[in-house]
């Protein structure tokens, strides 16, 4: 891939302060995009932004809670005013819900998982897609293999990702006529703070950079086609 392919493009990565989101932000910056990262923790965002800036990239950190509509619309207004465009939206922000069977799950935990992992993606698409329609671009939703398979003791998380997959396929049909390509990436076990590690070898798990590489493939794909879904698995079962 040419390092000039994303020159002049602006990208937003939610949950960009650490883990997969930070890796995606670094990858897009390496392709010469201007990157905005958002999340709830300013210190993590600033640390990632500083790393990217030290490497010669352009990165702006912004505190935003994707589960809060007012927070998302404020971010959209800032992006429109500061950059005047958005070419790439990566919906990566997510939280886990692996605390046991669904019938013992506190109601507020269900709300937290669904509000971030699913409602938050609706909010960002609702806020940013109108901005993208005039110029086209990419929306990439980071889902999970848990959105394909049963996940005992993680039903809320699985439900959020199954819902995210359905949302992604449907929005892809709505926006493809506007030259916006919507894709979903479903990684398997990934070595991050979010993913359960019990009984797994971290060295065999996917790494955040593996997911970032898939994002890079999608946003540099030839314009006449798009991959609507990528299922990403570790080579060896962890």
Q: What is the pLDDT of residue 199?
A: 62
In the prediction, which pLDDT does 237 show? 84
pLDDT at residue 1, as a whole number = 44
Q: What is the pLDDT of residue 213?
A: 97
Provide the token pair at 212: 């970032």
Q: Which two tokens stand for residue 189?
A: 């076990």
> What's the pLDDT at 197?
56
Phi and psi at residue 190, to the nearest 5°: -120, 140
Instruction: Pick the catalytic residue from 95, 129, 147, 157.
Output: 157
pLDDT value at position 201?
82
Q: In the prediction, which pLDDT does 238 show?
A: 76
Domain boundaries, the chain: 10-232
Q: Catalytic annotation on 169?
A: no
From first to last of the 238 residues of the chain, give the pLDDT tens digit.
Answer: 445 589 999 999 999 999 999 999 999 999 999 999 999 999 999 999 999 999 999 999 999 999 999 999 999 999 999 999 999 999 999 998 787 999 999 999 999 999 999 999 999 999 999 999 999 999 999 999 999 999 999 999 999 999 999 999 999 999 999 999 999 999 998 887 666 556 678 888 899 999 999 999 999 999 999 999 999 999 988 7
- Superfamily of domain covering 10-232: NAD(P)-binding Rossmann-like Domain (3.40.50.720)
Overall pTM > 0.85 = yes
């Amino acid at each position: 891939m040419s390092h000039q392919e994303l020159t002049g493009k602006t990208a937003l990565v939610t949950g960009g302060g650490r883990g997969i989101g930070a890796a995606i932000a670094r990858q897009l910056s390496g392709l010469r995009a201007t990157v905005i990262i958002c999340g709830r923790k300013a210190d993590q965002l600033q640390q990632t932004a500083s790393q990217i800036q030290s490497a010669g990239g352009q990165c702006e950190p912004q505190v935003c809670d994707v589960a809060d509509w007012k927070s998302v619309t404020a971010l959209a207004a800032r992006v429109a005013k500061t950059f005047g465009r958005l070419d790439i939206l990566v919906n990566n922000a997510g939280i886990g819900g692996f605390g046991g069977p669904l019938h013992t799950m506190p109601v507020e935990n269900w709300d937290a998982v669904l509000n971030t992992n699913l409602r938050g993606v609706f909010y960002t698409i609702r806020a940013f897609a109108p901005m993208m329609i005039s110029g086209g671009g990419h929306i990439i939703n980071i889902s999970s293999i848990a959105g394909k398979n049963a996940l005992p003791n993680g039903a809320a998380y699985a439900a959020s990702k199954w819902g995210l997959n359905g949302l992604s396929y449907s929005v892809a049909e709505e926006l493809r006529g506007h030259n916006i390509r919507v894709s979903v990436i479903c990684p398997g076990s990934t070595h991050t703070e979010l993913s359960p590690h019990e009984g797994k070898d971290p060295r065999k798990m996917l790494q955040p950079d593996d997911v970032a590489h898939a994002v890079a493939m999608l946003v540099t794909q030839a314009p006449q086609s798009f991959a609507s879904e990528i299922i990403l698995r570790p080579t060896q079962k962890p």
